[in-house]
């Protein structure tokens, strides 16, 4: 069984000992309609009028985190470890084995976003989980081993490193300036208009100032909100779909593989005893979606051990993405 160990030098949590179970149904796609028996039992599905599922969610067969276990935190001398209690679910995005996000209709996107939101809400009821990660990989290089388009939902008892860093920086910014860091970024990027890819009434997409990957793009709501899963307004959701589908079409034309990750507020009590500033996360954190291309047809990014190195500036990336005909 996998366990979580904390690197005592950096404070990062690492999952060790996770092994993937090989499927014995070679040649059959376990995610295609008719093969539901090859996956664990459905947690939630949305159906059409004839009763056929359109989007389907079930537990991963080789989960990194497992829901049933008691959370036990232990020490080993000076080190900390705990069992990897949590949840790992997969969402099959449509019945089609080959339909990628570029080909999704507004309604298909709507069902997928609804499923993301519903699963986050549901998993947040379990207070052992500190964070609910939602992400999807597109293309082999981004780590997708089953071709049929699907997303992951992972609930963890510890905060992912990247989110932890974002929370620290957004909190410090707020304490110094009494303004949301992300609202400040949006205002400045909108004003400068050098790294903006697109904008509509409620959302903006930008190539971030210090992009780690060529064509890295973030989509942020232009209104302050810390929780993606609380986005209810139908019109605002349509605007999110419109900007998301447009950006994805452009990214899919320029790259072979990408990861999409939703950064939303963690599952923590608004003000806990460790929060000495009594500053609610909802004040300083601002949800967003990050699209991270992992490969580029002509110039790959490099990871020089500790640094990300890209050959294209975010200003050039934003211009190229904007000019791409979709």
Contacts to Zn ion by CB under 5 A: 29, 31-32, 97, 148, 180, 182-183, 224, 263, 286
Burial class for 224, CB neighbours closer than 10 Å (0-12, 13-18, 19+): middle
For residue 104, give both structure tokens.
Answer: 């999704």
In the complex with Zn ion, the residue whose CB is nearer, 55 or 85, is 55
Task: Give DSSP secondary structure letters for 19-81.
Answer: -PPPPS-TTS-TTSTT-GGGSPPPSEEEE-TTS-EEEEEEE-SS-SSBSSS---EEEETTEEE
Nearer to Zn ion, 204 or 312 (CB): 204
Residue 147 beta carbon to Zn ion: minimum distance, rounded to whole angstroms: 7
Quick one: tokens of 163?
Answer: 């989110």
Q: How far is the CB of 24 from Zn ion (least distance, A)?
A: 17
Beta carbon nearer to Zn ion, 3 or 36: 36
DSSP 8-state assignment for residue 176? H
Shortest separation between residue 95's beta carbon and Zn ion, angstroms:
9
Of the pair 85, 291, the CB lying nearest Zn ion is at: 291
H or E, element range at 303 = strand 302-304
As measured in angstroms, the least distance from the Cβ of 29 to Zn ion is: 3
- Closest CB to Zn ion among residues 89, 216: 216
- Shorter beta-carbon distance to Zn ion: residue 155 or 183: 183
Chain centroid to CA 322 = 23
Q: In whole angstroms, how far apart are CA 10 and each of 14, 64, 168, 190, 306?
A: 11, 22, 15, 35, 13
Nearer to Zn ion, 97 or 152 (CB): 97
Could you tell me the smallest distance in angstroms from the CB atom of residue 124 to Zn ion? Answer: 18
Q: How far is the CB of 232 from Zn ion (least distance, A)?
A: 18
For residue 96 the two structure tokens come to 């089609």
CB of 116 to Zn ion, least distance (A): 16
CA neighbours within 13 Å on the CB side: how many for 291?
Answer: 29
Main-chain phi, psi angles of 205, to 5 degrees: -120, 135
């Amino acid at each position: 069984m996998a366990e979580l160990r904390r690197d005592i030098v950096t404070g990062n949590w690492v999952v060790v000992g996770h092994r993937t179970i090989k499927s014995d149904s070679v040649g059959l796609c376990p995610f295609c309609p008719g093969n539901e028996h090859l996956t664990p039992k459905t947690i939630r599905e949305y159906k059409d009028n004839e009763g056929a599922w359109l989007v389907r969610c079930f537990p991963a067969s080789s989960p990194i985190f497992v829901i049933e276990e008691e959370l036990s935190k232990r020490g080993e001398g000076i080190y900390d470890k705990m069992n990897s209690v949590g949840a790992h679910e997969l969402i099959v995005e449509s019945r089609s084995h080959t339909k990628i996000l570029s080909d999704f209709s507004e309604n298909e996107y709507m069902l997928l976003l609804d499923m993301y939101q519903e699963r986050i809400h549901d998993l947040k009821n379990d207070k052992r989980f500190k964070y609910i990660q939602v992400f999807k990989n597109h293309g082999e290089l981004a780590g997708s081993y089953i071709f049929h388009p699907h997303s992951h939902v992972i609930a963890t008892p510890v905060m992912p490193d990247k989110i932890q860093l974002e929370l620290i920086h957004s909190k410090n910014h707020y304490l110094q300036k009494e303004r949301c860091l992300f609202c400040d970024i949006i205002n400045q990027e909108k004003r400068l208009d050098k790294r903006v890819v697109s904008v509509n009434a409620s959302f903006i997409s930008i190539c971030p100032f210090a992009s780690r990957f060529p064509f890295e793009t973030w989509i942020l709501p232009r209104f302050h909100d810390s929780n993606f899963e609380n986005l209810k307004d139908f019109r605002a959701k349509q605007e999110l779909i419109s900007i998301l589908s447009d950006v994805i079409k452009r990214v899919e034309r320029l790259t072979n593989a990408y990861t999409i990750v939703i950064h939303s507020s963690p599952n923590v009590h608004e003000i806990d005893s460790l929060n000495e500033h009594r500053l609610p996360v909802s004040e300083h954190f601002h949800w967003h979606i990050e699209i991270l291309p992992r490969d580029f047809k002509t110039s790959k990014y490099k990871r020089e051990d500790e640094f990300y190195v890209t050959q294209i500036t975010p200003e050039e990336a934003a211009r190229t993405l904007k000019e791409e005909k979709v």
